[in-house]
Structure 1
Amino acid sequence: MTWVPNRWYVAAWDSEVDRSPMARTICNERIVLYRKLDRSVVALRDACPHRLLPLSLGFKEGDSIRCRYHGLLVGPDGAAQEMPIKSERVPKAICTQRYPVVERHRLVWVWIGDPERADESLVPDFWPCSAPGWTFDGGYNRIECDYRLVIDNLMDLSHETYVHQGSIGQHEILETPIETRVEEDEVYVSRWMAGIDPPPFWRDALRSSGPVDRWQICQFVAPSSVLIDVGVAPVEAGATLETHDHGVRGFVIDAMTPETERTTHYFWGMARNFDIEDAGFTARFKAQQGQVFDEDVEVLEAQQKAIDMNPDLRLRGFSIDQGSARARQIITRLAAAEGAFAG
């Protein structure tokens, strides 16, 4: 196991889950999700307690699911409500696992582990996604790689220079030193680029040319999220690394949910505090961001294949990998505390 049990993981965007059953594998556990009539989300183990046919193949009846194989009716609490032969008594022991669910910041989170330990205060605080004066939207990619490789990618933005050279990459990123600090179960990597020309993506967002100050502050939040405070401001605005509500500012929101040890659900988005009423710009911004992340997907999947083909080799860490190395150490420590292995 390479992840931390007894934590919240994003299972879906709020718009993905509707009345019809939806199946998704989270941390090697197959889960079925759907909404009840009151629109609250149900998450159950996607296996009928009779013959284990996926419940996601079944038929919805009110807030319950009838198994498509023999007709066992399972309620939203996971308990059997009706046997295949309706005259038979329903044993209390016949049930399927139910997962705690929280909807927050337009995402559906499920608790993987002991349901008695589900603590809503442990849901990562994606505050820009819900705060007044901000707007938020995003997308999804399924990536065929270890979720920790995605965290490595996001905590080391030096890769932008070459992977994203047509959009957000520029050589000043590699030429600027980083500052790394650890605060309990969080890691911060900061980079301040003063008096530079903005890359195309940020120039268009600012709607002006000329030298800018650019910042990148990556924040790893255990067990598998990264928030990146990014933006540019005209030099004359006087922005600083500590105070930069100038120019155009956004938070890249990243939630990496392990599907298996070699595949990842990647939920991404951008929360921003400028042009928040411009729905057309939001759609265009999301499309551009999606193109940027597609470039990451290509690299990460190729990296995972190379790792699998070279079992005698190990990843090496340079100075630019400080953030990702600290994040991995936190994951390993938290997993070990749960009696799990995060090698």
Structure 2
Amino acid sequence: MSDTNAPEQKRFPLNAWYAVAWDFEIKRELFPRTICNKRMVFYRQSDGTVSALEDACWHRLLPLSKGRIEGDQVVCGYHGLKFNGHGRCTFMPSQETINPSACVRTYPIFEAHRFIWVWPGDPALADPALVPDLHWNLDPEWVGDGKTIQVGCDYRLVIDNLMDLTHETYVHGSSIGNEAVAESPFDVTHGERTATVTRWMVGIEPPPFWGGQLGKPGDVDRWQIIRFEAPCTIAIDVGVAPTGTGAPEGDRSQGVNGFVLNTITPETDTSCHYHWAFVRNYKRDQQMLTTQLREGVASIFREDEEILEAQQQAMNEHPGREFYNLNIDAGSMWARRLIDKMIAEEDGKPAALQAAE
């Protein structure tokens, strides 16, 4: 694995879609957010479309987020320059002629899967078909909710955490983890932009969370199928079914099934916006359960947040320290390779995926 803490290393590709926020968070008001070390400001225009501008006035660089919205334009809070949703200045105080260079950068925006997505890189390459697949968030066969966590760590540490769920045994032992997670074998496969870790735990005692969701006594067959889509989206197919009812062979009808949907957006080199949701295909009409699950998963993820921020702090204190890899790191290693491949291609360098150790 490459050294996460190397200062010269480019940590994220820019030619990719990153989740800015949940769709309901972007309103008719200025919403500042830093994405990939770029300060941006977002707002909805009167027709509902979202605009994304560089958060710095052309005149004296005051953040435009310190201003206000007037109609569909942003008014700078310092000297009143106005910029439309395309970044073009339409008004300057005390003069009729507007300098033709007066504009701020805009960023491509796409709205899908309950998120607002932004493309920080070359706008000519911003293909909506490349938006990560989180369709479960709007699929009528699934119901759920989620939140956003601000985590003080390199976004790739969150990816490492999600690609290796062995940590559930030790970090989440009171809820979703037990010894079976750490002891069960797993398979890792990969494609050009994806990596998948598949783990089946057959004939095990269910951990507290899943025992409660199933509501049936006895041992279970449990699955975790983790699908990474470069550079930073992970959908995890999870669930349990009574042992012997056919789940490993494809019949999950006697069990309960959910998806943990994750997309992690770099903020800076050592901080990120972690958007997540938990959706399920059972008891879909129970809003109370949706709220309980959202809050329960949030409590579990707070345990991860504590671990990840402590890890980042330790890395800051030991610059240049190289990571050592175990067999359980195979999924995260492939995710890192796919990210590095995107970065290399973006920088015009040859990139080849190597076989996993």
TM-score (norm 1): 0.96
Structure-2 separation of matches of 1:241 and 1:183:
24
2:111 to 103, 106, 114: 103
Structure 2 unmatched ranges of 5 or more: 1-9, 352-357
* Contact 2:86-2:106 at 8 Å conserved across structures: yes
State the 1:77 CA deviation: 1.1
Which residue in 1 is equivalent to 2:290?
282
* Contact 1:252-1:271 at 8 Å conserved across structures: yes
1:268 aligns with 2:287: no
1:22 aligns with 2:31: yes
Q: Deviation string for 1:171-197 (max 9, x for gaps)?
A: 001110110011221000010011111
State the 1:219 CA deviation: 0.7
Which residue in 2 is equivalent to 1:187?
195
1:83 aligns with 2:92: yes
State the 1:286 CA deviation: 0.1
Structure-2 separation of matches of 1:162 and 1:241:
29
* Contact 1:257-1:264 at 8 Å conserved across structures: yes
- Look up the equivalent residue of 2:155 and give its one-letter code: Y
Which residue in 2 is equivalent to 1:54?
63
State the 1:237 CA deviation: 2.4
Structure-1 separation of matches of 2:60 and 2:230:
37
Structure-1 separation of matches of 2:31 and 2:117:
14
Q: Deviation string for 1:239-290 (max 9, x for gaps)?
A: 1165535411111011110001110110011121111111111000000000
Distance 1:306 1:340, change over 3 A: farther
- Look up the equivalent residue of 2:57 and give its one-letter code: C
State the 1:130 CA deviation: 2.0
The residue matched to 1:15 in structure 2 has which SS?
A: helix
Aligned pairs for 1:233-272 (under 5 A) are 233-240=241-248, 242-244=250-252, 246-272=254-280
* Contact 1:215-1:241 at 8 Å conserved across structures: no
Which residue in 2 is equivalent to 1:304?
312
Distance 1:95 1:243, change over 3 A: farther
Structure-2 separation of matches of 1:300 and 1:125:
25
Which residue in 2 is equivalent to 1:150?
158
Aligned pairs for 1:84-233 (under 5 A) are 84-85=93-94, 87-233=95-241
After the TM superposition, list the runs of 4 or more consecutive aligned residues in structure 1 that deviate by more than 6 angstroms: none
Structure-2 separation of matches of 1:284 and 1:63:
39
2:46 to 33, 37, 42: 37
Which residue in 1 is equivalent to 2:77?
68
Structure-1 separation of matches of 2:68 and 2:266:
28
The residue matched to 1:297 in structure 2 has which SS?
A: helix
Count residues with an aligned counterpart.
341
Structure 1 unmatched ranges of 5 or more: none
Distance 1:287 1:188, change over 3 A: same
- Look up the equivalent residue of 2:174 and give its one-letter code: G
Percent identity for Structure 1 against Structure 2: 46
The residue matched to 1:240 in structure 2 has which SS?
A: helix
Structure-1 separation of matches of 2:318 and 2:303:
23
Distance 1:227 1:340, change over 3 A: farther
- Look up the equivalent residue of 2:63 and give its one-letter code: P
Taking only aligned residues, the RMSD between alpha carbons, in angstroms, comes to 1.5
The residue matched to 2:62 in structure 1 has which SS?
A: coil
Structure-1 separation of matches of 2:71 and 2:249:
53
